[in-house]
Amino acid sequence: MMSDEREAIDTSETAPAGFEPVIVAFCCQYCAYAAADLAGSMRLQYSPNVRVVRLLCTGKTDPIFFLKAFEGGADGVFVAGCMEGNCHFVEGNLRAKQRVQHAKGLLDEVGIGGGRLEMYNMSAGEGAKFAAAADEMTERIRSLGPSPLRPEPGDAEAALQAALDGVEVAQA
């Protein structure tokens, strides 16, 4: 059923045939990053289109991160933080939620589209929830089509790496 759904979306008017979205996920190391790791350990199937960027806390996110990701070739971006009330830095995830909402408005204004940005909350033990978020965003962006800022095909990976350089927290 899933392959039928994807095939139907690929032939939509907005997405060119064969379009594979690039999704950047800014993940808190205490929850979503661990959930992504767990999903891998559990061998859960989820979209391979998602590039995970580890953050100390989603409170560290800045709208400039989102813009750098889009400039670098991302077609969609999501932020994944701890459940509300469980942030290790008290209100970091609430600040992230506000920034995402603000940035969605800015993306609408500049023609990129606020729908290309989303926020999720999950605990470290919710590998399946991370997998569902990755799949949901991939399908949403697949239906929206490529970002208007997307570089020429072939340049996306290198540009994305350059744009995200210095954003990810250092590995301990």
Q: Which is nearer to ligand FES, 129 or 150 (CB)?
A: 129
Nearer to ligand FES, 12 or 123 (CB): 123
Angle at 22 between CA 33 and CA 60, to 5 degrees: 40
Nearest approach in angstroms of CB 79 to ligand FES is 9
Rule CB under 6 A: which residues touch ligand FES?
28, 30-31, 57-59, 81-82, 87-89, 92-93
Smallest gap from Cβ 125 to ligand FES, in A, equals 14
Strand, helix or coil at 37? helix
Residues 6+ apart with CB under 8 A from 28: 55, 56, 57, 58, 80, 81, 82, 87, 92, 93
Contact 139, 158 (CB under 8 A): no
Could you tell me the smallest distance in angstroms from the CB atom of residue 87 to ligand FES? 3
- Whose Cβ is closer to ligand FES: residue 94's or residue 106's? 94
Q: Measured from the CB atom, is 82 or 160 closer to ligand FES?
A: 82
